[in-house]
Amino acid sequence: MEQLADDAEVLALKQAEVAGWFLKRGSRQDRWPMSRVAELRRGNIKEWVAWAFFNCSTEMAPRARFVELEDITDEIIRWMEVHLEPGYNDDAICMRLTMDPIPSSHRPLVYYAVTQTIFSQVINIQLHGLGFRQHWSGTLLYWHRPGVPPEGADARSHAAESCPPPIVFCHGIGVNVLPYRPLLNEMLEKASDRSFFLISLPHISMRIKEEVPSSTEMVACLSDMLSSWGFKSAHFVGHSFGSLPLAWMARKAPGFVSTLTFIDPVCFLLVKPDVCYNFMYRRPADPTQLLINYFLAKELYIAHSLSRNFFWLQNQLWPEELPGPALVVLCGLDSIVPSHSVRRYLTSYKQRRQVASLRVLWFPDLGHGEINFGPVGEAACTRIVSEMLQLEKEFTQ
């Protein structure tokens, strides 16, 4: 009986994963998943497959892919162990992020005057005070601060070839690196002898920036950045959207990666609909969600970056692709990332494959991005930096 119950639970989870990609026409968008598998038709699954695997509509699918499209559709229906009627249910609306209308809302010019100029100046003043200077690597703007040699050490012995790998930080969606002062302070204090690179991603920083770098372009810029300063590899740290450049480096330039630290990462389990729904489609149900929805998700240039340049096949990172030691920081109250699922998934992989270099750090009472705010966030930053440096010490030295 227990085995039957387990089988039924697994089957229900399979069906919920697919049904979660469909909204229900006319229903409130604060309940999810909104479509049941029984309400779907074969045409609905085919529509989702065309977008997810070929980034197109069923009508625009290449003729050479017709057979493959049909085969994948049949395979998914078999995997769900359900019989679906032929046809198409118009009330089941598939979430197709890169094809649906861009969900943006108007901002007055003064809004961008603040984000484009005042916030930029505040960031520049703060970072200059910490010893950072601006540089360019191709199309990538970044701030760099050289490591401070330990007291009494010869500067020549602190050359790039002999000092520890630098730390490269990639911020998430918001106002660039401005909210990350607690984490930055902790890293600078605990690893002052290291060179630091802070990456600027203006297209997700509420600024007028239509150009979005591709994954290939970003990897090339980051690789050239490190090479130009004489570094062969780096410890990459990324928060939320900033975990995507880490995933790209891990997959396309693993030789430049010594260690990875993911904080509130969106790059794991993107096959699940949670991140897509929670950030782009969910109707806000509380003040936090309302702030995220208005100031972040529906800001024109952020919405454009996500709705036309977020390709899950490129952004999804599997644990098998991790090139070295990795720390994954997850929060139990995360309203965007399916953190409980990611935690179970990575922990299971770690135990099954006996991967000691993969660590999962769990903060049960924090939400997405709350490491940046208040005493609790500062305490979390202290723990994160200690764990990432300890992991690095154990496996890269």
Question: 3-state secondary structure string, 148-182?
Answer: CCCCCCCHHHHCCCCCCCCEEEECCCCCCCHHHHH
Q: Domain check: are 309 and 221 in the same one?
A: yes
| 170 & 266 share domain | yes
- Look at residue 99 and tell me if it is in a domain: no
Judge if 123 and 63 occupy the same domain: no
Report the largest interatomic distance among the alpha carbons of the chain, rounded to a whole angstrom: 76
CB neighbour list of residue 142: distance below 8 Å, 6 or more residues apart: 134, 135, 136, 197, 198, 199, 200, 225
- Answer yes or no: do 18 and 163 share one domain: no
Residues 42 and 135 in one domain: no
Identify whether residues 85 and 125 lie together within a single domain. Answer: no
Are 319 and 238 contained in the same domain?
yes
Do residue 89 and residue 135 come from a single domain? no
User: Same structural domain for residues 70 and 127?
Assistant: no
64, 94, 124 — which closes off a domain?
94
Task: Give the pLDDT confidence score for residue 31 in this predicted structure.
Answer: 55
Same domain, 141 and 66: no
pLDDT of 378-389, one tens digit each? 999 999 999 999
Q: Decide if 169 contacts 238 (C-beta within 8 A).
A: yes
**Beta strands 140-145 and 133-137, pairing class:** antiparallel
- State pLDDT tens for residues 137-155: 999 999 999 998 876 555 5
- In total, how many domains does the chain have? 2
Q: Is pLDDT of 38 > 80?
A: yes
**Does 340 lie in the same domain as 208?**
yes
> What is the amino acid identity at position 234?
A
Is 267 within a domain? yes
Report whether 315 contacts 240 (CB < 8 A).
no
Q: Is the pLDDT of residue 94 over 80?
A: yes
- For residue 33, the model assigns a pLDDT of 54
Containing structural domain, residue 124: 109-396
CA–CA gap between residue 82 and residue 64 (Å, rounded): 28
Q: Which of 94, 125, 152 is the last residue of a domain?
A: 94
Q: What is the pLDDT of residue 360?
A: 98
Task: Work out the percent of the chain whose per-residue pLDDT is above 70.
Answer: 93
The least confident of 128-137, 157-166, 240-249, 273-282 is 157-166
End of a domain among 45, 68, 94?
94
Residue 102 maps to a domain: no
Q: What is the pTM of this model?
A: 0.94
Res 4 pLDDT > 50: no
> In CATH, what number is assigned to the domain containing residue 291?
3.40.50.1820
